[in-house]
Structure 1
Amino acid sequence: MRMECVLPEMTANFKCIDHIALAVRDLEEGIAFYCNILGFELLQRRVIRGARTGMISAELKKGDIKFVLCQGTEPESQVSRLVTEYGPGVAHIAFGVDDVEAVGAALAKQGMQFDTDIIRGAGLRQLFSKRDPNSGMSFEFIERSGEAGFLEENVNELFAQLEQSGGY
């Protein structure tokens, strides 16, 4: 059966793609490819430890394009589970928005469910959707008001909320 697109009454206003998070099997191999072949700049590395599992990541940028490469540190980590379930590749696409609360409310009204509450930091608010079982996609909605990168406390809060919700 062919489905038609029907625009919801109130659509969320997305400004841009803020970044794309990629789940990788080997972070060092990913960094080498994106930097040495595609010419991206390595901005930052992170080690994230949750209550039970962890993740290592690298933030890469070229012009206005930003990728965050993520590798799980244990088989039970969110990223490792994602790679096992869906394979390596896009973990989530982050849409830049003006008002994350309004976007979250509009999308919830349309039936979207979320793995996190709004994560608040200085100059940065984020919200993560549940993964779509059909495509494997998850979306982040990110409101920036002064912070261009990612805050350590936001990343740690994200990891904690995903551990609590069982999301990945």
Structure 2
Amino acid sequence: MQKTIDSKLGVGATSDDIRTTASPVSQFRGIDHIAIAVLDLEASIQFFRDVLGFELKRRFHIKGRATGMLSAEFESRGIRFVLCQGTEPASQVSELVRRHGVGVAHIALEVDDVDAAVETLKSRGLGFDTNVIRGPGLTQAFSSRSIETGLSFEIIHRDGESGFLESNVQQLFDQLEQSGKY
């Protein structure tokens, strides 16, 4: 059973004020990756590779109708980071950095069923900036940024794909560009 603190209780709530919810959110299995919005992808690559010791797995250059994004995927012992840099001032990533600063763009939570998790989270009030994006071996959806925490979440399920598919990243970029979401 999952325990949560009722947001109506506010500051000063004690463990006696904890309520139990009947159903956990779609059984999160773990953190798949953390996406980081950066100003300088090359400097960030050097930091992750040369200082932290992560292996650079692949790079993408995604182009939308009006803007673009550069990204680099890193991994070490099952820990995965994706670094993202906008290519123009109007790019989603550039806007994200302008509005929220460099740092966490989203946290990807692994689930068994993306559709079910999205429906559960929507029923609990979480908005989504994308539809469910499907690719061979990879299904994803991206939440709206929470005004309470500043975080956005990716809900992800992998079925054979260990990295990221350029087609999925392109669909994500196209949907965010079309909706104007960051």
Q: TM-score, normalised by structure 1?
A: 0.96
Q: 1:88 aligns with which of 99, 102, 116?
A: 102
Where does 1:10-159 land on structure 2 (aligned, <5 Å)? 10-12=23-25, 13-159=27-173
Return structure 1 stretches of 4+ with deviation > 2 angstroms: 1-11
CA RMSD of aligned residues (A): 1.3
Matches of 2:90 and 2:179, distance apart in 1: 14
Cα distance between partner residues in 1 of 2:95 and 2:21: 33
Larger radius of gyration: 2
- Give TM-score scaled by structure 2 length: 0.88
Q: Report how far residue 52 of structure 1 moved.
A: 1.0
Further displaced range: 58-67 or 128-137: 128-137
**Aligned pairs, number:** 168
Structure 1 residues without counterparts, runs of 5 or longer: none
Relative contact order, higher structure (CA 8 A, sep 6+):
1
Structure 2 runs not aligned, ≥5 long:
1-9
AA at the equivalent of 1:102: A
Shift in Å, 1:5? 6.0
Identity %: 55
SS at match of 2:128: coil
Cα separation, 2, equivalents of 1:21 and 1:155: 12
1:64 CA displacement: 1.0
